[in-house]
């Protein structure tokens, strides 16, 4: 479950990175980007509900749950910041809000590979 959640989170993070790049190249309208990112946020809520509501059976599972929970919160925070910047129409703020996403994507990928 932890690996699947990390993969889903990574997909969401990469999707937002893609829309930020598209907006930065002036190839997407901000209202579309807003809907897109809002939908990704809803997906994050689903990951949170599905994963974080599970009772970890072991102490090792507690550690994995904590790691995924931390990355989930980081993704949620960054993606919320991107959405807010999109709604404000502030291109520089959109790009700044997206700065943590590449590193987070790498962390999620590494986690998913380490915990198949």
pLDDT per residue as tens digits for the range 102-113:
999 999 999 999
Count of residues making up the chain: 116
* Buried/exposed code over 37-75 (b: 16+ C-beta within 10 A; e: otherwise): beebbeebeebbeebeeeeeeeeeeeebbebbeebbebb
The answer, yes or no, to whether residue 47 has pLDDT greater than 90, is no
The answer, yes or no, to whether residue 65 has pLDDT greater than 90, is no
- The predicted structure's pLDDT at residue 39: 96
- The predicted structure's pLDDT at residue 92: 96
Instruction: Determine contact, residues 9/41, Cβ cutoff 8 Å.
Output: no
More confident residue, 51 or 88: 88
Structural domain boundaries, residue 42: 2-114
The answer, yes or no, to whether residue 57 has pLDDT greater than 80, is no
| Contacts of residue 87, Cβ cutoff 8 Å, sequence gap at least 6 | 30, 34
Q: Which of 84, 88, 104 is nearest to 15 (CA)?
A: 104
* Count: domains in the chain: 1
Mean pLDDT of 80-96: 97
pLDDT tens for each residue of 8-46: 999 999 999 999 999 999 999 999 999 999 999 998 888
- Please state whether the predicted TM-score (pTM) of the whole model is above 0.85: yes
* pLDDT band at 56; cut points 50, 70, 90: low
Query: What CATH number corresponds to the domain at position 45?
Result: 1.20.120
- The predicted structure's pLDDT at residue 16: 98
């Amino acid at each position: 479950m932890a690996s699947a959640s990390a993969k889903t989170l990574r997909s969401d993070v990469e999707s937002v990175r893609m829309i930020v790049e598209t907006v930065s190249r002036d190839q997407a309208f901000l209202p579309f980007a807003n809907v897109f990112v809002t939908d990704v946020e809803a997906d994050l809520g689903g990951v949170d509900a599905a994963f974080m509501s599970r009772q970890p059976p072991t102490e090792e599972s507690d550690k994995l749950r904590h790691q995924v929970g931390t990355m989930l919160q980081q993704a949620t925070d960054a993606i919320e910041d991107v959405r807010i910047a999109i709604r404000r129409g502030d291109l520089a703020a959109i790009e700044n809000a997206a700065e943590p996403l590449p590193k987070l994507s790498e962390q999620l990928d590494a986690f998913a590979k380490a915990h198949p």
